[in-house]
Amino acid sequence: ERLALLGEKYPHDLLVKVIRQRLEQERLSIAAGKACASLNDIVASVLGELETLEKPSQNDSFWSQNPYL
């Protein structure tokens, strides 16, 4: 349900990419013998990644503050 609501905020292709990457990480972890993360942990990880992508990087801030460079 939480992920479905993100469709209103983020492009579909981005959501699919981030979710697939997170699920692949989970598959690799399980294949390595680690316990499966909870659904809540996986969703929280996806939300965190999307929030990170949404924030401007330090470089973006530097360039916007120094237009003569």
Query: Between 33 and 62, where is the model more confident?
Result: 33
Average pLDDT over residues 11-36: 95
N-term to C-term CA, the chain: 45
Q: pTM higher than 0.95 for the full model?
A: no
Q: Computed over its alpha carbons, how large is the radius of gyration of the chain?
A: 16
Task: Average the pLDDT over 25-38 and give the result.
Answer: 96
